[in-house]
Chain A
């Protein structure tokens, strides 16, 4: 039966408190999107391997200019805390330690998508709205990396797809290069 309920929405602060209180069992992946607690699908072996390879490649090239942030929270507003698979951040470690990460600190977010593609595309809109400069979706089903740049409202004005055999650089750091084939 369809019931019109006023679902209780949560703030980031409440969401964090739930985690501290042990509401979410160890290993459960949840994030907070516009006040709703969203359950993320478990990370399969292909997804996990992709994140590991991306991490390795970014860490090797970041050479202490950047912080490579994997599967940790980024605070978007009072009611949204998302966990991109990977993000490249300014090295503001002392701030992050106390106040967490905000979109202004983010040079690039990367989502690895297999079963989660529809949800990851929806998150891209959220990243654009927050003004995140660049976002990638490593689309494992189609074996491409989708690149989104120039946030404009809920979208990115510039969208490209890079296939196996091609290379990607980040807009903020053109010397950082990733071969698509290395992460699929």
Chain B
């Protein structure tokens, strides 16, 4: 039965209050997309391995120039708080401790996609809209890393794909080189 419901949407503040009040059981993976609370699929073994490899590589290479944020929230305005698999943020821990981040603090977000590819593509539009400078999708199905740069409205103007045997480099840190094969 299709019911004409006015679904209640939430702000980031309300979403966080829910978490603090224990509404989401331990291990429940949720994020806030345009006011809607979205349930994320459980992380499978290839996905988590890719995230670990990315975290390790970036951790070794950023060397104090950025914070490596792994499956943590990134604030994208009043009604959206997403949990990218990895993000590189400006090294401002004192700021984040009290008021979270702004989109300007984010150098790069990375989503690892296997079963979640359609949803991860949809999230790209939110990253672009918030002005996040660069986003990657580590596409485990196609064995490529999709690189998105130059946010413009709901899209990224520049898109490239890097295959096994190739390397990817974030625009903000030209000396950081990640071999695609290492993170697939």
Report which A residues bind B (CB closer than 8 A): 1, 3-8, 10, 14, 17-18, 20-23, 30, 33, 36-41, 118-119, 122, 125, 154
**Cα-based distance from A129 to B10 in the complex (angstroms):** 30
A residues near B6, Cβ cutoff 8 Å: 38-41, 119
Nearest 6 CB-CB pairings of A with B: A21-B21, A3-B122, A122-B3, A37-B8, A8-B37, A8-B39
Known A4-B118, A23-B18: A38·B5 in contact at CB below 8 Å: yes
**A119 pairs with B1, CB closer than 8 A:** no
A residues near B3, Cβ cutoff 8 Å: 33, 119, 122
Cβ distance B135 to chain A, nearest Cβ, rounded Å: 16
A residues near B22, Cβ cutoff 8 Å: 17
**Cα-based distance from A23 to B8 in the complex (angstroms):** 11
- 7 new A-B pairs (CB below 8 Å) besides A4-B119, A119-B3? A3-B119, A6-B40, A17-B22, A18-B18, A30-B8, A38-B5, A38-B7
Cβ distance B33 to chain A, nearest Cβ, rounded Å: 6
Report which B residues bind A (CB closer than 8 A): 1, 3-8, 10, 14, 17-18, 20-24, 30, 33, 36-41, 118-119, 122, 125, 154
Nearest residue (CB) in A for B121 is: A3
Nearest residue (CB) in B for A38 is: B5
17 contacts between A and B (CB under 8 A): A4-B122, A5-B119, A5-B122, A8-B39, A14-B23, A18-B21, A18-B23, A21-B21, A23-B10, A23-B21, A36-B5, A37-B8, A38-B8, A39-B7, A40-B6, A119-B5, A119-B6
Nearest residue (CB) in A for B38 is: A5
Known A39-B6, A122-B3: A3·B33 in contact at CB below 8 Å: yes
**A7 pairs with B39, CB closer than 8 A:** yes
**Cα-based distance from A118 to B5 in the complex (angstroms):** 9
B residues near A20, Cβ cutoff 8 Å: 21
**B4 pairs with A36, CB closer than 8 A:** no
Known A14-B23, A38-B6: A154·B17 in contact at CB below 8 Å: no
**Cα-based distance from A41 to B30 in the complex (angstroms):** 27
**Cα-based distance from A10 to B28 in the complex (angstroms):** 12
**Cα-based distance from A118 to B1 in the complex (angstroms):** 12
Cβ distance A13 to chain B, nearest Cβ, rounded Å: 9
**Cα-based distance from A154 to B1 in the complex (angstroms):** 10
Residue in contact with B37 in the complex, picked from A1, A7, A118, CB distance below 8 Å:
A7
**B4 pairs with A21, CB closer than 8 A:** no
B residues near A7, Cβ cutoff 8 Å: 36-39
**Cα-based distance from A39 to B5 in the complex (angstroms):** 8
